[in-house]
Structure 1
Amino acid sequence: MVHVPHRHSVPPSAGRPSGMRSDRHEPSRLRVEPAVARPAGPTPTPPGETASLPPAVVPHDTPGQSLSPSVPVGTRPAWRRRTLLRLAGASAIGFPVVATLAACAEDDTVHAPDPLAAQEVLARADAAAATAAIALAPQSNAALSTIAAERTAHADALRTEIDRVIGVYGDGTTPVHRTGALTVPGPGGSPVPASEVETASAQPATVAQVRDQLVRSQQAAAALARTESGYRAGLLASISAACATQAGVLLT
């Protein structure tokens, strides 16, 4: 008879050496590896792999706190919408103010009178004298009325050319153009203030007086035409020829 040794059973909760059947029901213990010191700096990338960059950190836009100069390019916050609107509003207000100030400074400049301004004064004075002479010479009503209409047209054409040279603003308004004292050829040929000619033309005149005014205007326009060029020279030459016709044909 073979004698088999008897093994005593032990409760599962008791500790047992490894290798027994009851060990398979015990939970596996975690394996803790010792910490290994890593070298400073970026981790080298194995050959054949692409290094992944960490996401860029954008600093918060805290009121009253400026960004550090060490922040890399591309991480600064974008302009806020309120800041852009404020800058746009300041620009929209600033440009008209600057333009207005520049216009005011330009308006204070005193310019020399346009050479055509004296011819305009003479043309309007001749038209006023011809109209006033109708009362003293009603028989020459047709000729004097024609002269008054033509000389008024001459004055309007001269004024249009003067305004063209001065220019206009973008909204169609004419800038203030300050000029010096204006003189025109007087009866003796010497220059006299324009105000004297304008005052004298309002008085009743005879046909002879109107003829003398037209002769002076014809000579003044011809002399000025020789110093001008282009359209201005042609306009003055046409006015001079018209005055010669009025004085030598209509009032003979």
Structure 2
Amino acid sequence: MSRRAALRLAAVSAVGATGVALLAGCTEDTNDRAEVDSLVAQSQLARRDAAGAAAAIALHPDRSAALDLVRVQRTAHADALDAEIARAAGTYPDGTTPTTSPSASAAPTAPAPPPTLDQLRAELAESQRSAADSARTLSGYRAGLSASISAACATYLAVVLS
């Protein structure tokens, strides 16, 4: 192999290695965004379930202890998910963290009526399935968090609200 061919091979290899590294970096960022989107959806479901359980106490005061347990724990799930979302967002170079503001709705909406126990069970079943699906696609701590949330929702359905 001539010296010129060796230099060409080295240059092509360097450019190729840089390209592969850049593509791998882009792929990981896309995956991280998809994982965070999944966590955001789980957080929204947790807040919905907590609000539903709190509202259902008005219709079922005899089940208030069980419904309050669901409310407290689903709020804790949402808080844990929000903490992981914030951790994934990182910090800016000046040390501040990114913030999001809720989108303003055009007109205030009337509050929804309290859900029945069957409606709350259906919402918890949806949350359980969604968290289980997320756990299968996530990795590491995020997968464990989603799996434990799925298990908790299954417990609410099978034991707490049965």
Normalised by the length of structure 1, the TM-score is: 0.45
Asked which structure has the greater RCO (Cα within 8 Å, sep 6+), the reply is 2
1:152-196 CA-partner distances (Å, limit 9, x unpaired): 000000000011111123554222569xxxxxxxxxxxxxxxx9x
Are 1:148 and 2:58 counterparts? no
2:129 pairs, out of 215, 219, 240, with 219
Are 1:121 and 2:31 counterparts? no
Q: Structure 1's 219 and 156: CA in aligned 2 closer, same or farther, altered over 3 A?
A: same
Q: Structure 1's 157 and 202: CA in aligned 2 closer, same or farther, altered over 3 A?
A: farther
Are 1:204 and 2:114 counterparts? yes
Counterpart in the other structure of 2:159: 249
CA distance in 1, matches of 2:126, 2:63: 21
- What is the alpha-carbon root mean square deviation over aligned residues? 2.6
Equivalent pair of 1:128/1:202 in contact (CA under 8 Å): no
Paired residue secondary structure (1:174): coil
Are 1:169 and 2:79 counterparts? no
1:160 pairs, out of 79, 83, 101, with 83
Based on CA coordinates, which of the two structures has the bigger radius of gyration?
Answer: 1
Q: Structure 1's 202 and 157: CA in aligned 2 closer, same or farther, altered over 3 A?
A: farther
Aligned residue identity for 2:139:
S
Bigger helix share: 2
CA distance in 1, matches of 2:75, 2:67: 12
In structure 2, runs of 5+ residues without a counterpart are 1-32
Aligned residue identity for 1:221:
A
CA distance in 1, matches of 2:95, 2:53: 35
Equivalent pair of 1:121/1:155 in contact (CA under 8 Å): yes
Normalised by the length of structure 2, the TM-score is: 0.69
Aligned residue identity for 2:61:
P
CA distance in 2, matches of 1:135, 1:156: 24
Q: Percent identity between the aligned chains?
A: 59
Number of aligned residue pairs: give it: 124
1:101-142 CA-partner distances (Å, limit 9, x unpaired): xxxxxxxxxx77622100000000000000000000000000
In structure 1, runs of 5+ residues without a counterpart are 1-110, 179-194
